[in-house]
Structure formats: structure tokens, C-alpha cells
Amino acid sequence: METMERLLRVWLEDHGQRNVALSVSVIQEKAKSLFDDLQREQGASSQTETFSASKGWFVRFRGRHCWPHLKMPSTAPGKEDPYPEVLKSIIQEGEYTPQRVSL
């Protein structure tokens, strides 16, 4: 798990430096893919551990790595602003009530 999270953090940092917007679901899919790849490399001894890349895992991962917010890329001309969708996912993942969200 630690190795997967370390690899995921490198992957996220690379995408952040290239100003690439990533949704939570894309990050979760990448985490699951990395975990599965590492399990295959380690063979049968690692097959007992399972990982689902849940929203709860993502929230804890973000906290463990001091990433309260994902870096938002600037919007290029002709491209849709990703901010509303990212904000929506943060609100949903954090299970914030409308009373706690001030826009």
C-alpha cells in the first residue's frame, strides 16, 4: 500500500506540474491500477490484501500527503472551466451539507 501511494503521489505531482486536471475518479482508477500491478509483480504472497480505492481512502490519502486541495489547472481558450465539477466532487467526497458550503 505504501509503495502504491508513493507511486501515485509521483504520478500526481507529474500531472500537476504539467497543469493537467484530474478528477477524483481518475485518481482512484490510477491508484487501483497501480495496486493491481504491484500485486501481480509480488506474486501470490500479496494476493491476500485487497484495495478498492474508495472515496474514504482518497480523503485519507489526501490528508496523509497534506493535499487538502488538488491543484487546479488554468483553463485554456476554448476549453471548459473544470472548477465547477472539481468543486462538486470535493463537496460530495467531504459529505458537506449545503449549510456548510458558502459560494
**Cα 35 from Cα 17, distance rounded (Å):** 23
Query: Exposure pattern of 55-74 as b/e (b: 16+ CB <10 Å)?
Result: bebbeebbeeeeeeebeebe
Read off the C-alpha cell for 55.
472515496
The confidence score (pLDDT) of residue 41 equals 86
**Cα 40 from Cα 31, distance rounded (Å):** 14
**Cβ(31)–Cβ(4) below 8 Å:** yes
* Alpha carbon distances (Å) from 64 to 20, 42, 58: 22, 25, 10
> Helix 2-17 crosses helix 24-42 at what angle (to 10 degrees)?
140
The confidence score (pLDDT) of residue 4 equals 92
Average pLDDT per consecutive 10 residues, the chain (103 residues; last block may be shorter): 90 86 90 92 73 90 73 50 74 75 61
The confidence score (pLDDT) of residue 5 equals 92
Which residues have C-beta within 8 Å of that of residue 36, sequence separation ≥ 6?
A: none
Domain ranges of the chain: 2-100
